[in-house]
Structure 1
Amino acid sequence: MSYIHGYDPETLREVVDARECRERLAEIGSQRSLPALLERVWLLKVLGELDEALTIAQQAVRVARMAGTRKDLLRARVLHATVQQFRGAYTAAEHEMSTCVEEAEGQGWVGIAAFALQHRGKTRFDAGDYEGARKDFKRVLFLRQEMGAPEAQLETTMTAVEAAERARSRAVVAS
């Protein structure tokens, strides 16, 4: 079941039902498997419980480093960086995501590279770097088209490209 009901076209943040997310958190409880930790981080992040999300994200990175695959570790690191982004630590989040993009591309893991680029674009968007965000989103679109991603995923990426272009235009007019 997806807890994402869409994306806000102005902020690019996930639109979720807080009640559904809290119910899922209760179901997961204190499970310590890597998938459970990652899901808890995401749920806490979208609910705005950023201190707890950061603590669990750090734990998820440690678990992935000790017991997961390199792909697991990259996913955990990107999720950790998204919590930093939500906390306003844009430089740290962008740096972490950039290293994840580089590693994923170096390994030929296109899906993970696109995932990390999408989130780096969102971080740049939040930080006001609309041109950088637009470039990341366009690159994600290209990668996802190349790998035959579902139409819904391509639409989400196109929405992000358009949002970055609108924000960039507004910023130019305002200056």
Structure 2
Amino acid sequence: MSNYRLSSRAIVIKDDNVLLNEFNNGEYYNLPGGGVEVDETLRDAVAREVLEESGLSVLVREMLYIYEYNPIRDEYRYGPLGGVSHVFRCEVDESKEKMVYRVIDSDPVNKSISTGCKWISVDELKNINLVPKINDFIIEDIRKKDFTTKFLEDIH
């Protein structure tokens, strides 16, 4: 068994807004996504996770970020299991209907529960508590339309 969890996350952009998963009615947010299943690719996982969490089908585009959570380095902030996250730029697939179901995410370490996905304007993104703190990277890259892959270090 690995000490690291592999996850796939999305930055879904629509009309200068970004889709985020809200926790505890806005206490903090994270990018939609989650763990990669044994039979999935990173792209399959992010599409499935976004659909489960928001009801939206997405077109998975380029990988924007890779970041790591190291429990020792990051003082066990999010528990004892490390993780590597792959973040993809995604677009809503307008040819598909929105689904009505939604999987509720919870974070047992921080004792929090998802209160749903929410569209946040790029301007508003700088003022929210996004976990991990990659707000500035997202804002700058969307503004510059820079969709090249970056490895983000020491962000936790």
TM-score, normalised via structure 1 length: 0.27
With CA pairs under 8 Å and 6+ residues apart, which has the higher RCO, 1 or 2? 2
Between Structure 1 and Structure 2, the one with more strand by share is 2
**TM-score (norm: length of structure 2):** 0.30
